[in-house]
Amino acid sequence: MRKCKIGIIGFGTVGKGVYRILKSKNDIHPILKDIEIVGIAVKNINKKRDIELENNLLINDPYKLIDDPNVDVIVEVIGGTDIAKDIILKSLRARKSVVTANKAVIARYGSEIYSEAAKYGVFVLTEAAVCGGIPIIEPLKRSLKSNQINKMVGIINGTTNFILTKMTNEKADYKETLKLAQKLGFAEFDPTADVEGHDTADKISILTELAFGGAVNRDSITTEGIEKINIKDIEYANKLGFEIKLLAFSERNHVNKEESLSLNIWVAPCLIPKSHPLSKVDGVNNAILIEASPLGEIMLYGPGAGSGPTAASVVSDILNLYASLSKNISSIDPLLAFNYWRDCHIIDFNQISKKNYLRIICSDTPGVIGKIGDLFGKNDVSIESIVQLDASKNKAEIVVITHEVSNGKFEKSKKEINRLSEVELIASQLSCI
Ligand SMILES: NC(=O)c1ccc[n+]([C@@H]2O[C@H](COP(=O)([O-])OP(=O)(O)OC[C@H]3O[C@@H](n4cnc5c(N)ncnc54)[C@H](OP(=O)(O)O)[C@@H]3O)[C@@H](O)[C@H]2O)c1
C-alpha cells in the first residue's frame, strides 16, 4: 500500500496530540507508520512551541496544503467557524478527504459540507468533534446501524460537568468554580459557549443527524446553560435524591403525514435520580446513553476532551480513511460517508414534554401548598412531589417536581402560580428525567 499523506491545519492542543500519536512508539496498529505528514499549517509560525518537530514541517498558509497534489487528507484542527468552513469546503473541492474535530462548523454547516463531500466523492470524518476521545460518531454511523435509535441522553460538555460536580461535592460558588476551571485549563478564556449550553447543543445536533438520518436546524434547539444554577437548587436536589447535570436530550417522536420524523431535542440543566447511571458521571468526563431497538440501552463513557483523547479520535479517523482509500475502489463506502436519508423536524418548544423542578419562594402561610397544587391540577399538570424545604422570617421555600408534561401546560401553570398573592418569586426552574 502506498503511504497516506496528510496535511495538518492547526497545531494547538489537538494538533500537537495528533503529531505525538503519529510519532509514538506505543504498540499501535502497524498501518500507523504509513501515515506521512506533508506539512503543518499554523497562524503564527514564530510562536515558541513546547514540542520538538521533525524537519521544517511548519508553514503559515493552510491553502498550500490544500493545493498540494501530494496531500490525500486534510486534518482541520484550528477551531472557529468561518476560516475552518472555507478550509474544509476547499479541501473537499480539491478531492481531499477531511478529518475535523470542529463541532461548531459541523453543527452549523454539516448539510453543505456532507453534500460537497458526496459531490466530490470524498469523506469528511468527525469522530473528535463530539465527546473527544469517546468513540460515538463511527459507532452511530456503522456498528449501531442495524438498530433503530430511539433516544440519546448525554453529558457531553466537560467544562460544565466539572463546575457542577465541584458545586455539588464542595458546595462551591458558581463564579469561583468557573475561575478555577479556567485556571486548570478546563474552561476557555471566554466560557460562553460552554456555560450557556451552545457547545452541548452543537454536539447533540451532530449526533441527532447521524442517529436519525435527517438534517437538523441547529438554531431551533431549545438551549439553557448552567449560569443561573443556585447552590440551593443543588442542595435541595440532593436532599430529594437527585444530582444536577447539564444534559443533552434527543428523542424520536413520530413520523408525520409528510414522512418527516419529529424530534424532541433540548439542552438543559437537569435533575437526574441518583440511581441513574448518568448521575455518576463526574468531573470533566462525558457519557452518552443510547436507547435503541433491538439493542436496548448502552452507555459510552470516558474523557470528553484533552489533547491525547481527542487526538486519538482524529488519528482513528485518519486510519479509517487510509484503509478505505487504499482499497482503490471507485464507489464511496456508504457507511464511512454520511448522507441524509430522511426528513426531520424539531418539535416546537411548547410541545416538548418533560418533568420539571420548580423552587418557589412564598409567604409562610397555611394553605399555600394546596393553592399551588390546585393550579397545577387545573392545568392538567400532575405532581410527583411538593415539599416545603425551608422556612425562615415568615418565608417558605416550596419545591415542586412534576410528572412529564408539555412545556405549554407547565408554563401556563407557572404564570398563574406567579400571580398568587402568597408567591414572592419563582426562584428557579430546572428539567428532570
Ligand atoms: N482541546 C480539546 O480538548 C478539544 C476537544 C474536542 C474538540 N476540539 C476541537 O478541536 C479544534 C482545535 O482545538 P484546540 O484546542 O487544539 O485549539 P488551539 O489549542 O487553540 O489550537 C488552534 C491551532 O490552530 C492554529 N490556527 C488558528 N487559526 C489558524 C489559521 N487561520 N491558519 C492556520 N492555523 C490556524 C493555531 O495556530 P498558532 O499555534 O500559531 O496560534 C493553533 O495551532 C477546535 O475545533 C475544538 O473545538 C478540541
Centroid of chain to Cα 186 = 16
Atom of ligand 1 nearest to the CA of 13: 16
CB-side exposure of 100: number of CA atoms within 13 Å? 30
Sign of CA dihedral 207, 210, 211, 216: positive
Task: Give the mean pLDDT of 309-313.
Answer: 96
**Is ligand 1 within 6 A of the CB of residue 15?**
yes
Q: For residue 157, what pLDDT is reported?
A: 97
- Give the CA distances from residue 325 to residues 101, 328, 391, 401, in Å, rounded to whole numbers and listed in that order: 20, 6, 68, 54
Q: For residue 324, what pLDDT is reported?
A: 83
**Is ligand 1 within 6 A of the CB of residue 14?**
yes
Contact 407, 350 (CB under 8 A): yes
What is the CATH number assigned to the segment(s) 353-432? 3.30.70.260
Q: For residue 260, what pLDDT is reported?
A: 92
DSSP category for residue 2: P
Q: For residue 334, what pLDDT is reported?
A: 81
Is domain 4-133+307-340 annotated with CATH 3.40.50.2000? no
DSSP string, 43-65: S-TTS--SS--STT-EES-HHHH
Residue with cell 419545591: 399
Q: Which of 245, 332, 323 is nearest to 289 (CA)?
A: 245
Contact 128, 310 (CB under 8 A): yes
- pLDDT of 283 over the 90 cut: yes
Of the residues 16, 141, 166, 203, only one is catalytic, namely 203
C-alpha cell at 398: 416550596
- CATH 3.30.360.10 residue ranges in the chain? 144-304
Q: Strands 423-432 and 35-41, how do they pair?
A: unpaired
Task: Give the mean pLDDT of 378-382.
Answer: 96
> Using H for helix, E for strand and C for coil, what is the string for 266-315?
EEEEEEEECCCHHHHCCCCEEEEEEEEECCEEEEEEEECCCHHHHHHHHH
**Is ligand 1 within 6 A of the CB of residue 310?**
yes
Does the model's pTM come out above 0.85?
yes
**Is ligand 1 within 6 A of the CB of residue 13?**
yes
C-alpha cell at 43: 497562524
Distance CA 304, CA 36 (A): 27
Residues 405-422 have pLDDT tens digits of 999 999 999 999 999 999
Q: Which of 310, 314, 315, 317 to mutate to test the pocket of ligand 1 (most atoms within 8 A of CB)?
A: 310
Question: Which protein residue's CA is at the shortest distance from atom 31 of ligand 1?
Answer: 43
Contact 297, 289 (CB under 8 A): yes
Q: For residue 336, what pLDDT is reported?
A: 87
Question: Which protein residue's CA is at the shortest distance from atom 6 of ligand 1?
Answer: 132
Q: Give the burial class of 59: count Cβ atoms within 10 A of its Cβ; 0-12 exposed, 13-18 middle, 19 or more buried.
A: middle
- pLDDT of 330 over the 70 cut: no
In the reported structure, the alpha carbon of residue 41 is separated from the centroid of ligand 1 by a whole-number distance in angstroms of 11
Q: For residue 54, what pLDDT is reported?
A: 84
- pLDDT of 327 over the 80 cut: no
Neighbours of 60 (CB within 10 A): 11
Task: Give the mean pLDDT of 104-127.
Answer: 96
Question: Hey, which CATH number is domain 144-304, 3.30.1360.200, 3.40.50.300, 3.30.360.10, 3.30.160.620?
Answer: 3.30.360.10
- CATH 3.40.50.720 residue ranges in the chain? 4-133+307-340
Q: Catalytic residue at 175?
A: no
- CATH 3.30.70.260 residue ranges in the chain? 353-432
As beta bridge partners, residue 263 has: 252, 346
- pLDDT of 384 over the 90 cut: yes
Cβ density class 143-156: b for 16+ within 10 Å, e for less: ebeebebeebbbbb
What percent of the chain shows pLDDT beyond 90?
89
DSSP category for residue 306: S
- pLDDT of 390 over the 90 cut: no
> Which range (16-25, 70-79, 158-167, 248-257) has the least confidence?
248-257
- Give the CA distances from residue 414 to residues 110, 271, 385, 408, in Å, rounded to whole numbers and listed in that order: 38, 19, 16, 10
Treating both helix axes as pointing N-terminal to C-terminal, what angle do 407-418 and 368-378 enclose, rounded to 10 degrees? 140
DSSP string, 324-387: HHTT--SS--TTTS----SEEEEPPGGG-EEEEEEEEEEE--TTHHHHHHHHHHHTT--EEEEE
Task: Give the mean pLDDT of 333-345.
Answer: 89
